[in-house]
A = this chain, B = another copy of it.
Amino acid sequence: MRLTREAVLHGAFTILDEYGLGDLTMRRLANQLGVQPGGLYWHFANKQTLLAAMATSIAESATHASASLPEPDGWRAELEAISGRFRAALLQHRDGAELVAAGYALHPGSGEPLESMIKILQRTGLGVDAAQAAAAALTHFVLGHSTEVQSHDQLRRAGALPTDEDRLPDPDDSFNLGLGIFLDGLAVQLDGGAARPTSRQSSASR
Please report A residues at the B interface, Cβ cutoff 8 Å: 98, 101, 104-110, 129-130, 132-134, 136-137, 139-141, 143-145, 147-148, 151-152, 154-155, 162, 166, 168-170, 173-174, 177-178, 180-189, 193, 196
C-alpha gap A168/B130 in the complex (Å): 11
Q: Do A189 and B184 have beta carbons less than 8 Å apart?
A: yes
Q: What are 15 pairs between A and B in contact, CB < 8 Å?
A: A105-B148, A109-B166, A129-B173, A133-B173, A134-B177, A137-B178, A137-B182, A140-B178, A180-B185, A181-B185, A181-B189, A184-B184, A184-B188, A184-B189, A188-B193
Q: Do B182 and A181 have beta carbons less than 8 Å apart?
A: yes
Q: Which residue of B lies closest to A143 (CB)?
A: B144
Task: Note all chain B residues with C-beta closer than 8 A to A106.
Answer: 151, 155
Q: Do A166 and B110 have beta carbons less than 8 Å apart?
A: yes
C-alpha gap A152/B185 in the complex (Å): 27
Task: Note all chain B residues with C-beta closer than 8 A to A104.
Answer: 148
Partner of A108, one of B168, B183, B193: B168
Partner of A174, one of B133, B154, B155, B184: B133
A194 to chain B, nearest CB (A): 9
Partner of A183, one of B143, B145, B178, B185: B185
Q: Which residue of B lies closest to A104 (CB)?
A: B148
C-alpha gap A81/B140 in the complex (Å): 20
A148 in contact with B168 given A186-B185, A193-B188 (CB within 8 Å): no
A145 in contact with B155 given A134-B177, A166-B110, A183-B185 (CB within 8 Å): no
C-alpha gap A108/B154 in the complex (Å): 11
Q: Do B173 and A180 have beta carbons less than 8 Å apart?
A: no
A146 to chain B, nearest CB (A): 9
Q: Do B141 and A181 have beta carbons less than 8 Å apart?
A: no
A191 to chain B, nearest CB (A): 11
A134 to chain B, nearest CB (A): 6
